[in-house]
A and B are shown apart, each in its own frame.
Chain A
Amino acid sequence: MAEDFARLIESHRGYLLRVAQLQLRDRDAAEDVVQDTMLAALSGSGFAGKSSLKTWLTGILKHKIVDAIRRKQREPVVVAAFGDIDSELDIEDFDALFKDNGAWESKPAEWGNPEESLGQRQFFDMMDICLERLPPNTARVFMMREVMELECDEICTELSITSNNLWVILYRARMALRECLEKNWFAGEERRR
């Protein structure tokens, strides 16, 4: 029984590694955090079955990642690395998507029935690709908000950024993701019909 559970947890390693890497950028740190998560899952208070296994594991991973970030923040060199956020805010100027008067340069397209995509494995592969294309700090923050579901003030405290910084980062992430999916998935959907 324990072996089956261990094997089941192991099957999520790839996904957990992807999330950890997007957060921590450092491959070694990501692997450590995933390993700690697996161990905690196997030895801890046990899976009550209230949520999916993947969600439960992600919850444990979130705490391990936050701990790792806190540890890293005590080292000045890594705090400086996140200081790069300002240059990331200049890249991908979304003002270009709008005309001078504030109207859409190129309007959001009709996506048809996007819910259908949620049942397709290839859609999530495309989401992976689009997330990978985000600038690293943008992706990290977006995952903290949308995958780990941290509250805004928690994220701001963790990363020492202001609410305004956070909203701008999340705005850019959402705009980029929306555009990527529209170009690479939903535009095709229209043609496929």
Chain B
Amino acid sequence: MIRRFLGHLLSCKDVSRLVSQGQDRPLGGWDRWRLRMHLSVCAACTRFDAQLRFLRRAMRKYRD
């Protein structure tokens, strides 16, 4: 039971893909929840998430 639950948790690699996808399409509730859970305990991925959001802002500025 616990192992099945743990199997659903996201690795940092999964998170990096989800964070990127989240910039292109709305994520489903389950993915969003898993993502939030992971970010709440992973400083590295939290930095990654902020960095990708910054990249998008930088690209907008680059254009303007």
Contacts and interface: CB of A to CB of B under 8 A. Distances in A.
A175 B50 CA distance: 13
Contacts of A110: 47
Contacts of A94: 16
A54 B64 CA distance: 6
Contacts of B14: 102
A108 interface: yes
B49 to A, nearest CB: 9
Interface stretch (A40-48, A79-87, A166-174): A166-174
A148 to B, nearest CB: 8
What is the predominant secondary structure among interface residues of chain A facing chain B?
A: helix
In the complex, which range does the number of interface residues on chain A fall in? 35 or more
Given A101-B11, A104-B12, A152-B25, A55 B64 contact: yes
A147 B54 contact: no
B13 A98 contact: yes
Given A58-B63, A103-B11, A127 B58 contact: yes
Interface string B3-18: 0000000011110110
Contacts of B50: 111
A165 to B, nearest CB: 12
Interface of A: 52, 54-55, 58, 94-95, 97-98, 101-104, 107-111, 114-115, 117-118, 123-124, 127, 145-147, 152, 163, 166-167, 170-171, 174-175, 177-178, 181-182
Given A103-B13, A117-B58, 12 more contacts: A55-B64, A94-B16, A98-B13, A101-B11, A102-B12, A108-B47, A124-B61, A146-B56, A152-B24, A170-B24, A174-B55, A178-B55
